[in-house]
């Protein structure tokens, strides 16, 4: 298994952004302090029914994610063959992820990938990354053809939650264009368990 810092072009699993753990801890302290002061001062709120913090953050759940490479498709050239050979068997496990599902929307966040946002329909969801995929690359093939994968790809993630809401399964599809205009599609399997 490769390290996260050496991940190649097929997926946006790079250290990007991520929620500050200090900020999250500070919000939790403020909420506990507000509930304690309200109860202590006779504000009428009982400790068994605290008021959720603003912004719907009470709907956030924590998950542990594993991503596995499934396939890369595109024209039959050395770049696509190299990507297939280098990514086959690659898996990234034990990745922390937060899922928020207010109303009919969904947001998936982690320090390991760019945020996904989208919609829920029952237990199923469809999302897209909020920023384009910027990985690019290429190869000079043995036949002399220079193959270039362009930045600006799109990452879509769709899947479902189990009936008991303890398992998330999904398919990540990353679409890029070569300089020739031909598409290259990378597919990754997601499996996450609720913590």
pLDDT 10s digits, 51-70: 333 333 448 999 999 999 99
Q: pLDDT confidence of 143, banded at 50, 70, 90?
A: confident
Contact predicate 128/116, CB 8 Å: yes
Percent of the chain's residues with pLDDT above 90:
64
Residue 133 has pLDDT above 90, yes or no: yes
The contacts of residue 69 (CB under 8 Å, 6+ apart) are 10, 11, 87, 88, 89, 90, 91, 186, 187, 188, 189
Average pLDDT of the residues in 129-145: 90
Residue 98 backbone dihedrals phi, psi, to 5 degrees: -115, 135
Higher pLDDT, 92 or 22: 92
Average pLDDT of the residues in 152-169: 97
pLDDT for position 59: 82
Average pLDDT of the residues in 22-44: 34
The residue ranges of every structural domain in the chain are 17-58, 60-194
Q: How many helices (H) and strands (E) does the chain have?
A: 2, 10
pLDDT for position 136: 85
pTM score: 0.71
Half-sphere exposure of 138 (CA within 13 A, CB side): 13
pLDDT for position 104: 94
Distances (CA, A) of 183 to 54, 175, 178: 43, 7, 6
Residue 81 has pLDDT above 70, yes or no: yes
Average pLDDT of the residues in 125-136: 94
pLDDT for position 135: 82
Q: Distance between CA 24 and CA 21 in Å, rounded? A: 5
Half-sphere exposure of 39 (CA within 13 A, CB side): 12
State both tokens at 48.
């068994």
Contact predicate 62/194, CB 8 Å: yes
State both tokens at 163.
């009936």
Average pLDDT of the residues in 172-192: 97
Q: pLDDT confidence of 183, banded at 50, 70, 90?
A: very high
């Amino acid at each position: 298994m490769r390290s996260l810092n050496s991940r190649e072009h097929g997926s946006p699993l790079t250290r990007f952004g991520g929620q500050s753990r200090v900020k999250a801890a500070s919000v939790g302290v403020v909420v506990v302090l507000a509930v304690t002061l309200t109860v202590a001062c006779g504000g009428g709120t009982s400790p068994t029914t605290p008021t959720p913090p603003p912004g719907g953050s009470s709907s956030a759940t924590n998950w542990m994610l594993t991503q596995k490479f499934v396939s890369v498709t595109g024209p039959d050239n050395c770049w696509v063959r190299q990507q297939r050979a280098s990514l086959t068997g690659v898996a990234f496990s034990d990745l922390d992820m937060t899922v928020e599902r207010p109303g009919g929307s969904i947001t998936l966040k982690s320090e390991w990938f760019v945020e996904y946002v989208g919609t829920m329909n029952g237990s199923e969801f469809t999302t897209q990354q909020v920023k384009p995929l910027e990985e690019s690359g290429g190869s000079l093939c043995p036949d002399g053809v220079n193959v270039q994968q362009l930045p600006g790809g799109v990452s879509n993630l769709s899947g479902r939650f189990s009936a008991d809401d303890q398992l998330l399964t999904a398919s990540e599809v990353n679409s890029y264009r070569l300089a020739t205009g031909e598409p290259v599609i990378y597919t990754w399997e997601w499996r996450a368990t609720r913590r």
